[in-house]
Structure 1
Amino acid sequence: MAAKVVALFVATFAIVLATVAADPDELQDLCVADLTSGVKVNGFPCKANIVPDDFFFSGLANPAATNNNSFGAVVTPANVQKIPGLNTMGISMGRIDYAPGGVNPPHTHPRASEVIFVLEGQLEVGFITTANVLISKTLNKGDVFAFPRGLVHFQKNNGNVPASVIAAFDSQLPGTQQVITALFASNPAVPDNVLTGAFHLGSKQINRIKSRFAPKN
């Protein structure tokens, strides 16, 4: 009897985990995010007064300036913080613009899978599995590529002209964690002895890397 109870619990727990693996489904027609609320919930509380602009954003129409970015790539998000009406919908978009040679460096989206559509240019893209296998592809205008949730991935413009993509996510707020800045520009800083041990580098080399990614005052 005890074994059956344990088996039932495990099965139920597995089903629950499966159902909460992505953003939860909405339980009403809409819930426009109140971005000014001080209430802390898993998402955003609903506001009372809804207007059409809660569901509108024009920020993906034009390329972003890439000349002020050290990586030569700029991400323009169209998530719940830009479109409050996306609250509880479990979707969002973005645009990424790349200068010639620009790179969207290795990063992860902890809350979403991603699919990109190439608007212009040619890109080298890829993601790395937990077995450290690189899955990569050269993309051209009109191509589509998918990145699994949580896996480290990147895009690089290998061409001599600007490139751009539209990205779609299965989360209203996918989150982005850049690997290099997470390790070398966190606050408080990751201890040097952790980084020297992990990368087999000396303290001077670690501090030189940190100085490259230190926040600008």
Structure 2
Amino acid sequence: MASRTSSLKYFSLLIFALAIVQMTLAGDPDILSDFIAPPNGTVDGNFFTYTGMRILVGGDVPKTFTVLKATLAEFPALNGQSVSYAVLEFPAGTTNPPHTHPRSAELLFLVDGSLEVGFVDTKNNLFTQTLQAGDLFVFPKGLVHFQYNADSENPAIAISAFGSANAGTVSIPTTLFATNIDDNVLALSFKTDVATIQKLKAGLAPKP
């Protein structure tokens, strides 16, 4: 009996260790080919070209914070390539609200303007920086972060690179206040009242 118990113990430890290794290696899966072709379609130069960013060339500055993405959803050729991009346009005084990317770190390059950026680590330490054009800033994988154009007159534009074809975005305000989480749960969590929670939800409700 002792021998069997010991064997089960070691087997359990082995399974646990393998699970830990798998978690540390988690990310986009490696592929065993040069690329993943679409199930139905022709593979030529067009397949590897994404033209969705052309609207940025000579375009006007948007009136609200805008994100143009080149992820797996928009650019299928990224499937299996573990990379994606986003272009972030910040009119004067706008922000990219606190959010996370659960499947990738984010490397932000500020092309023009200035940005206040920051993230919070798992010990609730806040790391902030004021970026100028030409600066790079990394937001570690899965941590809550934000960007804010504090300039009241000039826009800013940045390019973000991700180590995943589908980094994912979890918006903290939207996740908490626009997904029908019970008002009482939120009121208790934020140590406030239901009326305040309802005002927050109303502010984030989709415009008709």
* Structure 1, unaligned runs of 5 or more: 35-45
Corresponding position: 1:58 with 2:51: yes
Residues 64, 133 of structure 1: alpha-carbon distance in 2 compared, 3 angstrom cutoff: farther
- Aligned residue for 1:39? none
Aligned to 1:52, what secondary structure does the other structure show? coil
> 1:98 pairs with 68, 90, 102, which one?
90
> 1:197 pairs with 185, 188, 196, which one?
188
The offset of 1:6, in angstroms, is 4.2
The offset of 1:26, in angstroms, is 1.2
1:195 & 1:11 partners in 2: Cα distance? 37
Corresponding position: 1:122 with 2:114: yes
2:96 & 2:10 partners in 1: Cα distance? 50
1:120 & 1:113 partners in 2: Cα distance? 22
- Aligned residue for 1:144? 136
Percent identical among aligned pairs is: 36
1:23 & 1:30 partners in 2: Cα distance? 13
> 1:174 pairs with 144, 158, 167, which one?
167
Aligned-CA RMSD value: 1.8
Residues 193, 120 of structure 1: alpha-carbon distance in 2 compared, 3 angstrom cutoff: same
The offset of 1:27, in angstroms, is 1.4
Higher radius of gyration, 1 or 2: 2
Corresponding position: 1:153 with 2:139: no
Residue-by-residue CA offset, 1:154-209 (whole Å, 9 max, x unaligned): 000112311000100011111111100111111xx111101110112222211111
1:191 & 1:12 partners in 2: Cα distance? 38
1:149 & 1:64 partners in 2: Cα distance? 32
TM-score, normalized by length of structure 2?
A: 0.88
Residue type at the aligned position of 1:152: V
* Structure 2, unaligned runs of 5 or more: 1-5
Residue type at the aligned position of 2:18: T
TM-score, normalized by length of structure 1?
A: 0.84
The offset of 1:4, in angstroms, is 4.6
1:14 & 1:134 partners in 2: Cα distance? 28
Aligned positions, number: 198
The offset of 1:65, in angstroms, is 4.7
- Aligned residue for 2:200? 209
Residue-by-residue CA offset, 1:107-136 (whole Å, 9 max, x unaligned): 011111110101000101010011111011
Contact 1:89 1:172 in 2 (8 A): yes
The offset of 1:14, in angstroms, is 2.6
Contact 1:64 1:76 in 2 (8 A): no
> 2:158 pairs with 161, 165, 174, which one?
165
